[in-house]
Structure 1
Amino acid sequence: MSADRVTTPFNARSTASDVVAGVDLTGQRAIVTGASSGIGVETARALAAAGAEVTLAVRNGEAGERTAKDIQATTGQLVRVVPLDLSDQGSVAAFVTAWKDPLHILVNNAGVSATPEMRTPEGWELQFATNHLGHFALTTGLHRALAAAGRARVVSLSSIAHVQAPIVFEDINFHERPYDRLLAYGESKTATALFAVEANRRWAGDGITVNAANPGAVTTNLGRHLTEEDYAQLPEYDFKNPEQGAATSVLLAAWPQLEGIGGRYFEDCNQAARHTAETPLSGVADHAIDPAAAERLWQVSLDLLADAPRG
């Protein structure tokens, strides 16, 4: 492991089960959001297989229950299902209020992508509201539970889509700009990367480490809003299966050798290098790990939540 850029024995083809081989999470509690489909399922499965008590925080309760039964059948571990709609601040608040235990692992996996222009009741653009603000409210709301664990890890899922989309702080919610659904998605994923930078800075003293994970290109229902025209414009990604897509999240959540390492952006199970024109499908852009932007986004997020009407 380099002192500067963290490297591991794993790579783009490693699976979530590869990463947790030999890892014992017995007695640890984990929450995985959006765990009823795609890489969330395999993230939860790997954590359960390592012995963690896993809670699936999902919008679709029926899908969550099916997933829980599947994971229980393959791991022998009891898996809980709790409703959570990240676009609904009332749902986030209810989840936080109901959680009473120390929390060792939080994987902010849920997300929406390339949606038509849609807004929450607060007037927030849906992708930013779901992917960033919902998880921001959830994680800050669970801070006490994370601190109570003694050593806790938070994983914030980002995407290579961030590289073309620094946050436009003057118009985060596309009230002035023409709506661009791919750009809005990219900005939301820049936000999730910046969240890891600032949360880790604030909370490392509480024993909480926070990192961002780019799972890579994975064929899941996250892309359900993409058209054939959209796909034609996308680069030639080397697609992963869901087990491979979950590996980086699981590494950050569970690999013992990452103890105490935070505020970083990982892809393909290693800390990402700087994004350059020569590496268009990999790396992390400077604007997604900029400490000043991270601090500014934290305050903007607090202000948006504070100004939201109470239902």
Structure 2
Amino acid sequence: MSRITTRFNATSTADDVTEGLDLSGRRAVVTGAASGIGLETARSLARAGAEVTLAVRRPDNAQEAARDIRATTGNDAVHLQPLDLADQKSVAAFTTGWAGPLDLLINNAGVMALPELTRTPEGWEAQFAVNHLGHFALALGLHEALASAPGARIVSVSSSGHHGSPVIFEDIHYSERPYDPWSAYGQSKTANSLFTVEATRRWADDGIIANAVMPGGIMTGLQRHLPAELRAQWEQIPTNKTPQQGAATSLVAAVAPEFASVGGRYLEDGGEAAVLENDAETDGVHGVRRWALDPEAAERLWETSAQSLRAGRGASI
């Protein structure tokens, strides 16, 4: 099976991807859209005419972002809604409050490399809770809205960080093993990719397609928990992208015709990434580990995640 390519590449911008498209009448939700690649993803969708909801943890702090998008795109259909992915009550409030069809769900928000083990009230490790379980609950809650829109797509923002770890099902939340910020981040990003594999399998008959993306190296608020020395090193990487470039692959997965009916793939630099064996040598940036596309792991993750949500609601929500 040949990899899917498009006319876009590592230097393409989100505006390049949406140029010439008319997304009038289409509705999109972008999580974590107050800054960084989420902001630019939302901006390019709005510029193409979509109605865009910025799902953000602190709406008051995102007012300027929303005003900026409206001003730079001429699109007034840009809305703010509170969404704290670490809080299942907040996720439930967002999904129950949504009305009507939803064409695009861009699961963009995330946290990286929390230096100390942090748990949600349910006892979930925070990176897994925010990056995966929060978005999983969001997608489940919006399933009906997605199914009612023709050709709905879900985009899950993963990362080359997934190279750091598969999902360790025996101890996802670090109850027994020592906590490591990077392995925790890695398994959450693997989970982002596995979600799209199983979502496509379960929901393709509902007209819903899901794909994962690696945006590339972009310095944003995501790196706020990094040690200052490491952050300074990352800032000097010559292949770093601008936020507009970082948002491009999300837009390819969201609107490019090549991925209109193909899901469960992992994209980078505007096209489908090469699949790497789990023990293969890698530059740590390019390619997708086979463990992040494994259908058996994807199904197990879905069932494990659904069980976690049920248990969490019973215990603390």
- The TM-score range, normalised by the shorter chain, is over 0.9
Question: Which moves more between the two structures, 253-262 or 17-26?
Answer: 253-262
Q: More deviation in 23-32 or 237-246?
A: 237-246
Aligned equivalent of 1:92: 91
State the TM-score, normalizing by the size of structure 1.
Answer: 0.96
* Offset at residue 237 of structure 1 (A): 6.7
Q: Distance in 1 between matches of 2:211 and 2:56?
A: 22
Where does structure 1 lack aligned partners over 5 or more consecutive residues?
none
Superposed, 1:11-50 pairs within 5 Å as 11-50=9-48
- Superposition CA RMSD, Å: 1.5
TM-score normalized by the length of structure 2: 0.94
Distance in 2, matches of 1:130 and 1:37, equals 17
Cα distance change, pair 17–233 in 1 and its aligned pair in 2 (3 A) = closer
Partner of 1:59: 57
Query: Residue in 2 aligned with 1:306?
Result: 310
Match of 1:36, as an amino acid? A
Q: CA deviation at 1:66?
A: 1.0
**How far, CA to CA, are the matches of 1:173 and 1:233 in structure 2?**
30
Q: CA separation of 1:229/1:139 partners in 2, compared to 1, >3 Å: closer, same or farther? A: same
| Number of the residue aligned with 1:271 | 272
Provide closer, same or farther for how the CA distance between residues 33 and 70 of structure 1 changes in structure 2, counting only shifts above 3 A: same
- Helix, strand or coil for the counterpart of 1:224? helix
For the Cα contact (< 8 Å) 2:163–2:288, is it kept in 1? yes
| Stretch of structure 1 that moved more, 253-262 or 95-104 | 253-262
Paired residue secondary structure (2:225): coil
Tell me how far 1:258 sits from its aligned partner: 2.3
Residue 233 (structure 1) shift: 8.5
Q: Are residue 210 (structure 1) and residue 210 (structure 2) matched?
A: yes
Q: Is 1:127 the equivalent of 2:124?
A: no
* Structure 2: gaps (5+ residues): none
Q: Secondary structure at the match of 1:139?
A: helix
CA contact (8 A) 1:87 1:130 kept: yes
Distance 1:111 1:207 in 2: 26
Alpha-carbon shift at residue 150 of structure 1 (Å):
2.0
- Superposed CA offset, 1:34-58 (max 9, x none): 0001100000000001110000000
Instruction: Give the partner amino acid of 1:177.
Output: R
What residue identity is the alignment partner of 2:98?
W
Q: What is the total number of aligned residue pairs between the two structures?
A: 309
Residues of 2 paired with 1:63 and 1:111: CA distance? 17
Partner Cα separation in structure 2 for residue 183 and residue 37 of structure 1? 25
Give deviations 1:198-233, integer Å, cap 9, x for gaps.
001100111000000110110001000000354589
Say if 1:180 and 1:233 are closer, same or farther in 2 by CA, change over 3 A: farther
Q: 1:260: Cα distance to partner?
A: 0.6
- Correspondence for 2:156: 156
1:174 aligns with 2:166: no
State the distance in 1 between where 2:33 and 2:68 align: 12
Letter in 1 for 2:108: N
Kept after mapping to 2: 8 A contact 1:23/1:256 = no
2:290 equivalent to 1:286: yes
